[in-house]
């Protein structure tokens, strides 16, 4: 069973204790992400004059926007992965088919060589018979 961890992080200049099954490094990474978002928003004109509730709403909207964009990108990657997997499957199937065709062609070639050798031997025999008849 996973161990529940806690970590103190600084978000927006306030110390907050986070708890969960993730590592302390993960909690710090989350806090850093939120602090970066707060910094981005704080750099916008007029943000500092907004009521705290509006600031929180804007922060939530920005984080949600990032989430949906990342989710969409993950879906695109998953589609690309599935398409690549299908292409690999198709190529493997084509490779197997081509190998089978090569093997069949090699068998036919060997059979033709054997038949050719037999015919050459037959030609030599007939040539010898002709020579003997001409003598």
pLDDT at position 115, please? 97
The C-alpha atoms of residue 67 and residue 75 are separated, in whole angstroms, by 12
pLDDT higher than threshold 90 for residue 133: no
> DSSP letters of 12-80?
TTEEEEEEESS-HHHHHHHHHHHHHHHHHHHTSTTGGGS-HHHHHHHHHHHHHHHHHHHHHHHHHHHHH
Predicted TM-score (pTM) of the model is 0.66
Residues 15-54 have pLDDT tens digits of 999 999 999 999 999 999 999 999 999 999 999 999 999 9
pLDDT digits (tens, 9 = 90+) for 87-114: 999 999 999 999 999 999 999 999 999 9
How confident is the model over 83-87, as a mean pLDDT? 98
Q: Rounded CA gap, 128 and 74, in Å?
A: 79
Rounded to an integer, what distance in angstroms lies between the CA atom of residue 93 and that of residue 99? 10
Q: What mean pLDDT do residues 48-62 have?
A: 96
pLDDT at 1 over 90: no
- The predicted pLDDT at position 2 comes to 82
**7, 29 Cβ separation under 8 angstroms:** no
CA distance 40 to 50: 15
Domain boundary assignment for the chain: 1-44
Please give the Cα distance from 32 to 37 (Å, whole number).
Answer: 9
């Amino acid at each position: 069973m996973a161990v529940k961890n806690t970590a103190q992080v600084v978000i927006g200049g306030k110390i907050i204790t986070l708890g969960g099954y993730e590592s302390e490094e993960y909690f710090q990474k989350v806090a850093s992400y939120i602090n970066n978002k707060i910094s981005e928003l704080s750099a916008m004109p007029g943000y500092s004059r907004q009521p705290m509730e509006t600031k929180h709403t804007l922060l939530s909207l920005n984080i949600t926007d990032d989430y949906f964009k990342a989710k969409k990108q993950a879906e695109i990657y998953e589609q690309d992965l599935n398409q690549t997997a299908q292409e690999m499957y198709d190529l493997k199937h084509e490779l197997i088919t081509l190998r089978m065709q090569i093997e069949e062609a090699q068998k036919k070639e060997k059979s033709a060589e054997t038949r050719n050798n037999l015919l050459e031997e037959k030609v030599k025999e007939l040539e010898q018979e002709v020579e003997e008849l001409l003598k």
